[in-house]
Every structure is written in structure tokens, then in C-alpha cells.
Amino acid sequence: MSKTAILYRMVTDNHICPFGLRSKDLLEREGYNIDDRPLTSREETDAFKAKHNVKTTPQTFINDERIGGYDDLRAFFNKGEAGQSGTTYTPVIAIFSVAALLALAFQYTVAGAYFSIRTLMLFIAFSMSLLAVQKLKDLFSFTNSFITYDLLAMKWLRYAYIYPFVEAYAGIGMVAQLPALAVAPFSLFIGTVGAVSVVKAVYIDKRELKCACVGGDSNVPLGFVSLTENLFMIAGALLMFFYM
């Protein structure tokens, strides 16, 4: 016997409800035939809410029983909560993975080699550049988090605003193979200050903080990941001094 669900979702000229589309997709993946009933105006949507005494749409009905919105539908199918909740390392894993693939692709295209010291430097440079972009997209949010644990930013707030620009410059400078003295000192400085700050905040003071490494709005915990970012900066600077 085929399974059927009735789905009410908002679809107007100005707005298509994303959770309505997600509910539709979930029902299809669960093998349901969908009686899709779009609510095509604000008045129609408000009338539907009043009739069924609900505050939001979409709303799904299965076997004449109201299941509820998208989160309720996920719970009905035992899918767990949607999206990310709590602390997560996903943003950093994504950035480091893409940086590694970019480094391998770049080095293979230029030199036909998959791995060398230059590949490692490119990985560090791409990682720094991508992490800088995450910070630069919302400087206020980044600095609000950064000044709570960086030792220099605590004393001179402007440093927090300068930091992501220096990180981007150092990363791009490594890719461009600028003279070591024009790039490495900047990377070494911010990396060293950052590493000392993380060690003090996390491993000495035992503070539980969110890492500003991927921007101030992330749920990445401060600790090993942020320390790794700073160690990368130090390593990149030293490699430039020794190999360039």
C-alpha cells in the first residue's frame, strides 16, 4: 500500500519556504506520495495557521494526523536534529581538507609532483588564506571573540582588526613566493603570539572558549585547532627562511 502525506507549505511570489522544500524532500526519500498544497499568499497562510492552531508552516499530515513542521517530521522519522548543534570541528576540517587538495592540485599542475616541501608550504599558505577569509567576512564578530583570549589583542584592541589582514597577506605572500623577509616575520609574529595565547588560555588557565580561527560565529572550541593554526604560521615562516 502506498504511503501518502499532505504537505502545506508557503510558496508565494516573494518567498518559498526552505523548510517546506526540506519537508518535501524528506517525505520523498521516505517513500511517501505527497499531496502538495502550496499556500500562495500571506492571507492564505494566516488563515491556515488560525484554522489548525499552529504558529508556523510547513505542516505535514500523515494518516489524518498532524505531524508538524520540519523538525517534527525529522523526529517522526527518527532523523535527529537538523543542522549543527553544540561544538563542532566541521568548519576547520573543511578548510584544511580543501587547502590540502588545492596544494596538491597546484603543485601537480606546476611541477608534476604530488608532494614536496613546496606542497607543504602551499598547504599552510592556502589554510592561512582560507582562515583569513572566514575572519574577514565579519570583523566585528571575529574581534569580539578574539580579544577574549589573545594576549596582545587584550591590551591593544586594534591588533584584533589587523590580525586577519596580516594572516591573509602572509598566506598570499607564501603562494606568490615573495622574499622571505617580506613575509615570514609577519607570519612568525602573529603565529607565536597566537600560540602563546592559546596555551595560556586553554592549557594553563583551563578556560572553555570558542575559537575565533574560523570567525567569531563558530562553535569550534578553542584548543588544539587554534594552536595548530598558529603552529602552521610558525612552520610556514621557518620554511620560508630555510628554503627560500
CATH of the domain at 28: 3.40.30.10
- Domain boundary residue among 76, 110, 136? 76
- Asked if residue 83 belongs to a domain, the reply is no
170 and 218 share a domain? yes
98 and 205 share a domain? yes
| Average pLDDT per block of 10 residues along the chain, 244 residues long | 88 92 95 94 94 94 93 91 67 91 90 82 94 93 91 95 96 94 96 94 86 76 82 93 79
The owner of cell 586553554 is 202
- Asked if residue 59 belongs to a domain, the reply is yes
Q: What is the pLDDT of residue 116?
A: 83
51 and 121 share a domain? no
Report the alpha-carbon distance of residue 158 to residue 147 in Å, rounded: 10
3-state secondary structure at position 106: helix
Number of domains forming the structure of the chain: 2
Q: What is the pLDDT of residue 85?
A: 56
- Asked if residue 127 belongs to a domain, the reply is yes
Burial of 214 (0-12, 13-18, 19+ CB in 10 A): buried
Q: Kindly report whether the peptide bond that precedes residue 58 is cis, defined as omega within 30 degrees of 0.
A: yes
Taking residue 72's Cβ as centre, other Cβ atoms within 10 Å add up to 14
Helix (H) or strand (E) holding 49: helix 42-52
What distance lies between CA 108 and its chain's CA centroid?
Answer: 28
106 and 163 share a domain? yes
Instruction: Find the domain containing 219 and state its range.
Output: 90-243
Q: What is the pLDDT of residue 86?
A: 57
> Using an 8 Å Cβ cutoff, are 116 and 103 in contact?
no
- Phi, psi (5° rounding) for residue 57? -125, 155
